[in-house]
Structure 1
């Protein structure tokens, strides 16, 4: 019996040591994986810190100064922010941004979604050709886009005014980019035209991922096409819709190049946008401190608008 007990004890001790060995191996693997994860995360955090956090910190600091970008400066506290609150051009630029956001969300995106839905039902060859045509503006250089539409809207040799005069609508032939009544609409059209292809492409790709079984099941239950899209397809691709809209909000906030190359904020600051106004204040008129205050407000407004859109999309998804 003693020999049997001894053998049993040896086996139990061997099993215990094997378990402990496996645990040690698991702990070592976890430690190695944590080190690997840290090795992957830390460089990214360093890049993020030096490319985003540090510049934001400098902007926040200079926003409370009267710096001209060089030479001596003084701390002025919240004076720049108080000036922003009474700055009519700032509020006009913010209204233009909000107007652009509204146009992209309620006009550009629905049209892009409907066209994407149509393209998803066409043959692969026809769909590919049409997608390419719609996407061409998105891949053009912003300089090319600006030059193209400045020429189209030119009151002397522009194609648009020539067509209007040719059909007897001389009263509508105006200087679209310099006329106070049409400048904002013309600029919004250029921006929407250039960005339309991206929204179309994302919606088309999302629609192609919807399982046909879901549509078939809904049709068997007697659902119409509008009902299928409202209750099946749109909820299924809701994350993509949210991503597109948030991207539109951020892009609207960042608009600068097309504005600067077409109207530079004119006529009379009517087409001013935050990005252009910030640049002009900080680097053209020499109000570097005020420009940095505008940049801080720019970041805050961008975050607020993005959060509002995300909450709205979550509410719709429910």
Structure 2
């Protein structure tokens, strides 16, 4: 009996040691894995810190100075920010940004979603051709887009005014980009036209991921197509919709190239946007400190608008 008990004890001890050995190996493997992950992440974080956080810090510092970008400068505290509060051009720029956000969210996105839904029901060949047509503006150079629409809106040889005169609507043939009554609408049209393909592509890709079984089950329950989209498809692709809208907000805030190439903020600063105004203040008129203050406000407004949109999307999802 003693021999049997001893043998059993030896076997149990051996099993215990094997378990401990396996645990030690697993712990060591996890530690190596974490070290490897850290080794991959840390360089990226360092680059991100250097390329993002450091410039933001410098921008925040120069925003409280009267720097012209060179030479001596002095600390002026919050003077630049107080000036922004009374800056009519800044307020107009912000209004134009908010207007562009509203147009993209409430006009561009619904139309893109409806077209994407139609394309998802067409044959693969027809859908591919139409997707290509709709997406062409999105891949064109912004310089090409700006030149195209400047020529289209030209009051002398522009296609649009020629068509209006040809059908007897001479009163509507105006200088679209330099007329105070039409400049903002013309600029918004150019921006929406250029970015429409991206929204369409994202919505189409999202709709193609919706399982057909969900639609079939809803139809069996007697749901109509509007009900299927409202209660099944839209909730299913809600994360994509939120991502598209947040991207629209950020793109609207960053909008600069098309504005600068078409109107440069004119006429009379009516089509001014934050990006163009910031650039002009910091690098054209030499108000570097004020331009940096605008950039800080720009970042804060972008974050606030993005958070508002995200909270709104979460509320709708509930």
Quote the offset at 1:264 in angstroms. Answer: 0.2
Quote the offset at 1:12 in angstroms. Answer: 1.2
Map Cα deviations across residues 48-88 of structure 1 (whole Å, 9 max, x no partner). 10111000000000000000000000000000000000000
CA distance in 2, matches of 1:236, 1:109: 17
Map Cα deviations across residues 113-157 of structure 1 (whole Å, 9 max, x no partner). 000000000000000000000000000000000000000000000
Tell me the equivalent position of 1:116: 116
CA distance in 1, matches of 2:50, 2:162: 52
Tell me the equivalent position of 2:104: 104
Map Cα deviations across residues 236-280 of structure 1 (whole Å, 9 max, x no partner). 000000000000000000000000000000000000000000000
CA distance in 1, matches of 2:167, 2:37: 67
Map Cα deviations across residues 194-250 of structure 1 (whole Å, 9 max, x no partner). 000000000000000000110011111111100000000000000000000000000
Tell me the equivalent position of 1:221: 221
CA distance in 2, matches of 1:4, 1:116: 76
4+ residue runs of structure 1 moved beyond 6 angstroms? none
Q: TM-score, normalised by structure 1?
A: 0.99
SS at match of 1:269: coil
Quote the offset at 1:44 in angstroms. Answer: 1.4
CA distance in 2, matches of 1:213, 1:4: 63
Map Cα deviations across residues 74-121 of structure 1 (whole Å, 9 max, x no partner). 000000000000000000000000000000000000000000000000
Where does the alignment leave 5 or more consecutive residues of structure 1 unmatched? none
CA distance in 2, matches of 1:37, 1:267: 54
SS at match of 2:156: coil
Quote the offset at 1:181 in angstroms. Answer: 0.2
CA distance in 2, matches of 1:302, 1:139: 25
Quote the offset at 1:43 in angstroms. Answer: 1.4
Quote the offset at 1:13 in angstroms. Answer: 1.1
CA RMSD of aligned residues (A): 0.5
Aligned length: 318
SS at match of 1:65: coil
Quote the offset at 1:2 in angstroms. Answer: 1.8
Quote the offset at 1:9 in angstroms. Answer: 1.4
CA distance in 1, matches of 2:50, 2:77: 25
CA distance in 1, matches of 2:221, 2:75: 69
CA distance in 1, matches of 2:186, 2:70: 38
Map Cα deviations across residues 175-201 of structure 1 (whole Å, 9 max, x no partner). 000000000000000000000000000
Q: TM-score, normalised by structure 2?
A: 0.99
**Residues 1:194 and 2:169 are matched in the alignment:** no
Quote the offset at 1:287 in angstroms. Answer: 0.2
Tell me the equivalent position of 2:154: 154
Quote the offset at 1:304 in angstroms. Answer: 0.2
CA distance in 1, matches of 2:19, 2:216: 53
CA distance in 1, matches of 2:135, 2:311: 29
Where does the alignment leave 5 or more consecutive residues of structure 2 unmatched? none
Describe how 1:146-185 pairs up with structure 2 within 5 A: 146-185=146-185
SS at match of 1:210: coil
CA distance in 2, matches of 1:231, 1:214: 11
CA distance in 2, matches of 1:211, 1:5: 62
CA distance in 2, matches of 1:201, 1:42: 34
CA distance in 2, matches of 1:244, 1:41: 27
Map Cα deviations across residues 27-47 of structure 1 (whole Å, 9 max, x no partner). 101101110110121111111
Quote the offset at 1:8 in angstroms. Answer: 1.2
